[in-house]
């Protein structure tokens, strides 16, 4: 899978893709990631990538010409991408579902915004889709772009060493993860739940599912409303509510 990332901070992005799971994906040949310096696509003496906003107001706006030229150069050298993504606080929210959709493409271009944002004609002209990571402010699109590259790359076959981890992420989808424990069996006066030491695989599975449901109920009830629950899940949820003294209010 090919990624092209356009940024005014190429070293920042290069450093992030040179580590961990992504770097191993590049070394193994499953990923082909190129980072492009937006300033290489300027034509003026000062290599300007921003300018004052029409209509006035604070801050600067990213000029459209260098971005459009960068995308044209990428298409000439690397072919037409399946998606051009503009990282923007105004974008649609990036989710695991979006990551799965993007992982089925073979080439993605990501454009990192800085300053107050990009000239509005950029998405119009290059047919890009705007994506946001969520309702918080970061200083630019670089970190969000790296998050997207990471989330999508994990789904590309051969990038994550243990395929079971990726399979489990999608199996458990919709619920928070169950609690994890490793040795020692007692630490700081806290013991590992007996069932996990019991060797009863069916009981372990049931405890994990019930714990995941209880945590999701406590921390992310919004997820529970969306999750695809089966009859066992509804039974476990009823148990949780009964144990807490509020029977039959969910499911």
Q: Which sequence positions are flagged as catalytic?
A: 89, 116, 154, 169
Report the first-to-last Cα separation within the chain, whole angstroms. 41
Residue 127 phi/psi, 5° resolution? 65, 30
Q: Does 116 bind ligand 9D3 (CB under 6 A)?
A: yes
> Which CB atom, from 23 or from 132, has the smaller least distance to ligand 9D3?
132
Q: Do 23 and 17 meet the contact criterion of CB atoms below 8 Å apart?
A: yes
**Lookup: tokens for 114:** 């800085």
Q: Does 174 bind ligand 9D3 (CB under 6 A)?
A: no
Return the SS3 of 37: strand
> What is the maximum alpha-carbon separation in the chain?
72
Q: Does 10 bind ligand 9D3 (CB under 6 A)?
A: no
Q: Which residues contact 159 (CB under 8 A, 6 or more apart)?
A: 21, 22, 24, 25, 28, 30, 31, 153
Q: Provide Rg for the chain, Cα atoms.
A: 23
The window from 130-138, 165-173, 178-186, 215-223 that contacts ligand 9D3 (CB under 6 A) reads 130-138
Q: Does 202 bind ligand 9D3 (CB under 6 A)?
A: no
Out of 137, 184, 202, 228, which residue is the one contacting ligand 9D3 (CB under 6 A)?
Answer: 137
> Which CB atom, from 71 or from 85, has the smaller least distance to ligand 9D3?
85
If residue 250 lies in a helix (H) or strand (E), which one and from where to where?
Answer: none
E strand spans, 94-148: 107-112, 129-132
Name the one residue in this structure whose structure tokens are 């998606």. 83
Give the span between the Cα atoms of 22 and 152, in whole angstroms.
Answer: 10
Q: Does 7 bind ligand 9D3 (CB under 6 A)?
A: no
Q: How far is the CB of 25 from ligand 9D3 (least distance, A)?
A: 23
Q: How far is the CB of 216 from ligand 9D3 (least distance, A)?
A: 24
> Which CB atom, from 137 or from 202, has the smaller least distance to ligand 9D3?
137
**Lookup: tokens for 1:** 């899978």
Residues between 60 and 89 with contacts to ligand 9D3, criterion CB under 6 A: 87-89
The window from 42-50, 75-83, 134-142, 178-186 that contacts ligand 9D3 (CB under 6 A) reads 134-142
> Which CB atom, from 102 or from 160, has the smaller least distance to ligand 9D3?
102
Q: Does 133 bind ligand 9D3 (CB under 6 A)?
A: yes
Give the span between the Cα atoms of 48 and 66, in whole angstroms.
Answer: 9
> Which CB atom, from 85 or from 212, has the smaller least distance to ligand 9D3?
85
State the residues that interact with ligand 9D3 by CB under 6 A: 87-89, 113, 116-117, 132-134, 136-141, 144
């Amino acid at each position: 899978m090919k990624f092209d990332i356009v940024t005014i901070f190429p070293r920042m992005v290069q450093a992030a893709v040179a580590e961990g799971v992504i770097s191993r994906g590049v070394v193994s040949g499953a990923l082909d990631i190129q980072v492009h310096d937006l300033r290489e696509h300027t034509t003026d003496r000062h290599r300007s990538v921003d300018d004052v906003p029409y209509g006035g107001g604070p801050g600067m706006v990213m000029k459209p010409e260098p971005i459009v030229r960068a995308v044209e150069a990428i298409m000439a050298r690397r072919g037409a991408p399946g998606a051009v993504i503009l990282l923007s606080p105004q974008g649609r929210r990036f989710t695991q579902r979006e990551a799965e959709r993007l992982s089925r493409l073979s080439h993605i271009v990501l454009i990192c915004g800085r300053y107050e944002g990009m000239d509005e004609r950029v998405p119009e002209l290059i047919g890009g889709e705007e994506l946001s990571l969520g309702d918080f402010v970061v200083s630019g699109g670089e970190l969000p772009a790296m998050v997207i590259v990471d989330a999508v790359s994990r789904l590309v076959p051969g990038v994550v060493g243990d395929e079971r981890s990726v399979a489990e992420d999608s199996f458990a989808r919709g619920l928070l993860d169950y609690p994890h424990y490793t040795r020692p069996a007692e630490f700081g006066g806290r013991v590992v739940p007996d069932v996990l030491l019991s060797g009863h695989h069916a009981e372990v599975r049931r405890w994990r599912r019930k714990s995941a449901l209880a945590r999701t109920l406590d921390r992310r009830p919004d997820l529970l409303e969306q999750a695809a629950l089966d009859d066992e899940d509804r039974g476990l949820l009823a148990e949780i509510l009964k144990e807490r003294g509020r029977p039959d209010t969910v499911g």
